Chain A
Amino acid sequence: MSVTPALDLRGIGKSFGPVKVLDDVSFSAYPGEITALVGDNGAGKSTLVNCIGGVHPPDSGEYRFEGRRVRVHSPRDASLLGIEIVHQDLALCENLDIVQNLFLGREQRNGLTLDEDMMEEIARTTLSGLAVRTLGSARRPISTLSGGQRQIVAIARAVLLDNKVVILDEPTAALGIAQSQQILEVVRRLADKGLAVVLISHNINDVFAVSDRIAALYLGRMVAQVRTADVTHRQVVELITRGTGGEVGLRR
Chain B
Amino acid sequence: MPTDIPRQKKDAVMKLADTDFATDRREHDVRSAALDYWNKLKAGELGALPAILGLAALVVLFTSLKPDTFLSKANVANLSTQALPITILAMGLVFVLLVGEIDLSAGVASGLSASVMAKLLVDGGQPWYVTIISAVATGIIIGTVIGWLVSVLRIPSFVVTLAFFLGLQGITLRLIGEGGTVPVRDDVIVAIATKNMPIWLGWALAVACSLGYTATLLLRWRRQHVRGLHSKPLEFVLAQSAVVAAALLISTYVLSLDRAPSPLITLGGIPWGVLLVGILLIVCTFVLGRTSYGRHIYAVGGNAEAARRAGINVARIRISVFMIGSGLAAVSGIVAASRLNSVATDAGGGNTLLYAVGAAVIGGTSLFGGRGKARDAVLGGLVIAIIENGLGLLGTKAYLSFLITGVVLLLAATMDALARRRRTAAGR
Contacts and interface: CB of A to CB of B under 8 A. Distances in A.
Q: Do A and B assemble together? A: yes
A136 B25 contact: yes
A19 interface: no
A178 B11 CA distance: 10
Interface string B1-17: 11111000010011011
A8 to B, nearest CB: 24
B227 to A, nearest CB: 6
A45 B298 CA distance: 33
A93 B307 contact: yes
Contacts of A177: 13, 16
A221 interface: no
A104 B2 contact: no
Contacts of B426: 143-144
Interface in A75-106: 75-76, 87, 89-96, 100, 104-106
B25 A105 contact: no
Interface string B244-283: 0000000000000000000000000000000000000000
A100 B295 contact: yes
B21 A92 contact: no
Most buried by B among A104, A135, A139, A205: A104
Contacts of A94: 302-303, 370, 423, 427
Contacts of B295: 96, 100, 104, 107, 114
Interface string B275-303: 00000000000000011100110110111
B303 A92 contact: yes
A146 B428 CA distance: 5
Nearest to A157: B310
Interface stretch (A64-72, A126-134, A162-170): A126-134
Nearest to A145: B427
Contacts of A87: 309
A120 B23 CA distance: 17
A181 interface: yes
Interface residues of B, number: 49
Interface in A29-88: 75-76, 87
B224 interface: yes
Contacts of A152: 21
Contacts of A96: 295, 298-299, 302
B229 interface: yes
Contacts of A205: 4
A143 B5 CA distance: 32
Interface in A226-248: 228-229
B305 interface: yes
A142 interface: yes
B21 A135 contact: yes
Given A95-B301, A143-B427, A132 B18 contact: yes
Nearest to A97: B230
A142 B424 CA distance: 11
B188 interface: no
A181 B370 contact: no
A137 interface: yes
- Chain B CB count within 10 A is highest, among A106, A138, A182, A185, for A182
A197 B147 CA distance: 41
B2 A208 contact: yes
B173 interface: no
A91 B230 contact: no
B20 A182 contact: yes
B24 A179 contact: no
B298 A146 contact: no
A10 interface: no
B133 interface: no
A33 B54 CA distance: 59
Nearest to A205: B4
A114 B292 contact: yes
B20 A93 contact: no
A139 B224 CA distance: 12
Nearest to A94: B302
Contacts of A134: 21, 24
Given A137-B230, A144-B43, A209-B3, A113 B290 contact: yes
A117 B291 contact: no
B223 interface: yes
A228 B2 CA distance: 9
B229 A121 contact: yes
B145 interface: no
Contacts of A209: 1-5
B303 A181 contact: no
A95 B20 contact: no
B371 interface: yes
A169 B420 CA distance: 29
B410 interface: no
B21 A104 contact: no
List 3 A-B pairs, minimum CB-CB distance, nearest first: A105-B310, A93-B302, A95-B370
Given A104-B312, A109-B292, 18 more contacts: A75-B309, A91-B306, A92-B306, A93-B306, A96-B302, A105-B299, A105-B307, A112-B291, A120-B230, A137-B230, A139-B230, A142-B427, A146-B428, A147-B428, A177-B16, A178-B13, A205-B4, A209-B1
30 contacts: A76-B311, A91-B306, A91-B309, A91-B310, A92-B306, A93-B299, A93-B306, A94-B427, A100-B298, A105-B299, A105-B311, A109-B292, A114-B295, A120-B229, A120-B230, A132-B17, A133-B18, A133-B21, A135-B22, A136-B23, A143-B43, A143-B423, A147-B428, A152-B21, A178-B20, A179-B20, A181-B5, A182-B17, A182-B20, A182-B21
